[in-house]
Amino acid sequence: EADIYQTPRYLVIGTGKKITLECSQTMGHDKMYWYQQDPGMELHLIHYSYGVNSTEKGDLSSESTVSRIRTEHFPLTLESARPSHTSQYLCASSENLLHQETQYFGPGTRLLVL
């Protein structure tokens, strides 16, 4: 069982609200990731980090932002939520190995924007 946690698990919020999705891991992993997944579709990488103070945008354009102030913590923020942001958001982490590392996923946050 991976030691990676996400809160909240479910969130229903109105349009225009600011939200922060929390992700934390206790494995000491350097690399962390945020993915977006719609039902029946593949995971899309939206943000990743190599370590503290490192953040990069992924393949899927996203209006969200991330920060990496501590190794174990990688929160994702939406300044103004819209219905198009409704999706499942998965956080993952991995060791800093070249190409061979396995990503460990959190349980996900299901976001519904009304």
Partner 1 sequence: KNQVEQSPQSLIILEGKNCTLQCNYTVSPFSNLRWYKQDTGRGPVSLTIMTFSENTKSNGRYTATLDADTKQSSLHITASQLSDSASYICVVSDRGSTLGRLYFGRGTQLTVWP
Count of residues binding partner 1 (CB under 8 A)?
25
Q: How far apart are CA 88 and CA 105, in angstroms?
A: 13
**Both tokens of residue 57?**
């945008």
Task: Give the sheet arrangement for strand 4-7, strand by strand.
Answer: 4-7, 19-25, 76-78, 65-66
Contact between 108 and partner 1 by CB under 8 A: the answer reads: yes
Task: Specify the stretch interacting with partner 1 by CB under 8 A; choose among 12-20, 70-78, 79-87, 96-104.
Answer: 96-104
**Both tokens of residue 44?**
């899309």
Task: Specify the stretch interacting with partner 1 by CB under 8 A; choose among 60-68, 70-78, 79-87, 89-97.
Answer: 89-97
Contact between 53 and partner 1 by CB under 8 A: the answer reads: no
- Smallest separation, CB 44 to partner 1 (Å): 8
Q: Would you say 90 or 113 has its CB closer to partner 1?
A: 90
User: Which of 114, 60, 70, 54 has the alpha carbon at shortest distance from 90?
Assistant: 60
**Both tokens of residue 5?**
């946690």
- Smallest separation, CB 102 to partner 1 (Å): 5
Q: Would you say 71 or 108 has its CB closer to partner 1?
A: 108
Q: How far apart are CA 80 and CA 95, in angstroms?
A: 33
Contact between 11 and partner 1 by CB under 8 A: the answer reads: no
